[in-house]
Chain A
Amino acid sequence: MSAPEPEIMAHPARLKAVLAVLFAALTVAGGVPLFKHRHYGMTFVAGPGVTKVIKLSDYSPGLKGSFTDPDVFILEGAEPGGKALLMADTHANEPAGLLAVLIMIENTVVEKGTLYIIPTLNVSGSRNTKAGDGYPLYFDIPTDWGKVRFRMGTRDASPLESWPDPDVYIHYPEKQMLSYLDVRNTNRTWPGRPDGPPMERVTYAAMELMRKEKVDIAFDLHGAETMFPVTNCIVAPQKSAKIATLAAMTVKAMEGYDSHVEPSPQNFRGLSHREIGDYSDTLPFLLEAPIPFLDQPTGPKTVKLLLDGKDPFLLSLAGKKKLFVAYDEKGWPMDKRVGQHMSTTLEIIRQFSKKTPDKAIRLTGAPKYADLVRDGAGHYYRDPAKAAPDRIHYE
């Protein structure tokens, strides 16, 4: 004997109609913000130093026409010299690097040498979010004239570009077995290949840029949890270690913040600081600034936490000596992190220029750590309303 039909199923057609409307409402309410976020264009104003803006696919056609093809801003000096590449948003949930390179794009003028700047290396990741962790979709930086809105992305590229994930990601060409997720992680897919999975194509194109343009030094700007041992540091392989050490000592002595040197492990493959050095003549440096937002035991992942880095749970853990950086009631504000990235980058460029005067890079207009802590990053962003239309770029 079958169970009697519950009363709610007395009029199935009516119930199904109600549920279908609810389903449509839920899908639209959830989907529209995600769609808008994926298609939102961040506004960058090319400053007086920007001489050219190209696409990364110009170095590897495998990227062309895809959602994974970032802009490359080029700042050429009047005098020939060394060449540096700056990359941010390799992990798009570590935005201090993006904020720092945007300051460079909008303010820096190169007198000698050339800067190549890729503000969002993992464009797809910057158009993705981590809904399960309650990530905000955007964050605003206050400026002297209003605010600049940035997309808050996540660590890995979107499955809309790279799907399905393999059971295990086998690194190319070293064949090391990595986590399945690393197939979408642009800091595990170096040096890449022209016809590999989408993120391998991105890193391959960046490698081609470095090889073809004979880039001398490359920066990969990141953020790391305060509970992660490799934080607040410069990660450098042996060939970059001397310059990294001199830069770390100088910023500590002259600018008053810590950024120690961590050696790039030889047997952990796919990372920029390992593979750029091994597969090109470029000297790589990966910069890590602490980002409390990424720590697991924090309160809600809010814009406020992202910007001020203040969290009571981390404060309690700091008291128990569980963090790898000094942490107090002041948190770890975004301006401080952006300032560290700026000053450490500038100091590495200075040390490299001192060591190889024929390939020196000389630039002006870039604020340093103390300027950013005092004025805030927003002080250095240009108002797009006052810029010529051909200087505005949407990323």
Chain B
Amino acid sequence: MNIIMILYYVITAGLVLLLGWNFLRERKSANDLILGLLVLVPLVLRLLRVK
């Protein structure tokens, strides 16, 4: 794994944390909750090195 690929994994992990934080803080919109989780799916699968 080269340095650029490692950085991309770090960025992905950062996005996952950001989306998770937004999910926990969201209090008004059910749509935003669902959309946030849908966006999380491919990011989590990449972090787990599944897809």
Chain A residues packing against B (C-beta within 8 Å): 5-6, 8-9, 12, 15-16, 19-20, 22-23, 26-27, 30-31, 34-35, 38, 131, 158-160, 163-164
How far apart are the CA atoms of A23 and B41 in the complex, in Å?
Answer: 8
A27, B30: Cβ atoms under 8 Å?
Answer: no
CB <8 Å contact, A9 and B49: no
Cβ-neighbour of A6 out of B26, B30, B49 (below 8 A):
B30
User: Taking CB as reference atom, which chain B residue is nearest A66?
Assistant: B1
Residues of A within 8 A of B5 (CB): 163-164
Contact B4 A31 (CB under 8 A): no
CB-based contact B45/A27 at 8 Å: yes
Kindly list chain A residues whose C-beta atoms are within 8 Å of the C-beta of B41.
Answer: 23, 26-27, 30
CB distance from A335 to the nearest CB of B (A): 32
Q: Mark B1-34, 1 if CB is under 8 A from A, else 0.
A: 0001100100000000000000110111110011
Residues of B with C-beta under 8 A to A8 = 30
30 sampled A-B residue pairs with Cβ under 8 A:
A5-B28, A6-B30, A9-B27, A9-B28, A9-B29, A15-B30, A16-B23, A16-B33, A19-B33, A19-B37, A20-B23, A20-B37, A23-B37, A26-B41, A27-B44, A27-B45, A30-B41, A30-B45, A31-B45, A31-B48, A31-B50, A31-B51, A34-B45, A131-B51, A158-B51, A160-B51, A163-B5, A163-B8, A164-B4, A164-B8
Q: Give bound CA distance, A26 to B45, whole Å.
A: 11
CB A202 to nearest CB in B, in angstroms, measures 16
Q: State whether A12 and B45 are in contact (beta carbons under 8 Å apart), knowing that A23-B40, A34-B50, A38-B50 are contacts in the complex.
A: no
Residue ID in chain A nearest B48 by CB atoms: A31
B40 lies within 8 A of A34 (CB) = no
A6–B34 CA distance with the chains assembled, in angstroms: 15
- Nearest A residue to B24 via CB reads A16
**Bound CA–CA A308/B49 (angstroms):** 34
Residues on the A chain within 8 Å of B50, using CB: 31, 34-35, 38
Q: Is the interface of A mostly helix, strand, loop or mixed?
A: helix
When distances are taken between beta carbons in the complex, the residues of chain A under 8 Å from B37 are 19-20, 22-23
Best-surrounded residue of B24, B30, B41 (most CB of chain A within 10 A): B30
The answer, among A20, A22, A23, A34, for a CB contact under 8 Å with B51, is A34
Q: Which residues of B contact A35 (CB under 8 A)?
A: 50
Question: CB-CB < 8 A to A6: which residues of B?
Answer: 30
CB contacts (< 8 Å) of B23 on chain A: these are: 16, 20
User: Distance (Å) between the CB of A76 and the closest chain B CB?
Assistant: 36
CA distance A30 to B23 in the complex (A): 21
- List chain A residues, Cβ under 8 A from B46: 159-160
Instruction: Kindly state the separation between the CA atoms of A254 and B18 in the bound complex, as whole angstroms.
Output: 66
Q: How far is the CB of A16 from chain B (nearest CB, A)?
A: 7
Are A19 and B51 in touch, CB under 8 angstroms? no
Q: Which of B26, B40, B49 contacts A160 (CB 8 A)?
A: B49
Q: Which residues of A contact B8 (CB under 8 A)?
A: 163-164
Bound complex: CA A8 to CA B33 (Å) = 12
Closest Cβ neighbor of B12 among chain A residues:
A163
Residues in B neighbouring A9, C-beta threshold 8 A: 27-30
Closest chain B CB from A270 CB (angstroms): 21
The 10 closest A-B pairs by CB, nearest first: A23-B37, A31-B50, A8-B30, A35-B50, A34-B51, A34-B50, A12-B27, A163-B5, A31-B45, A160-B49
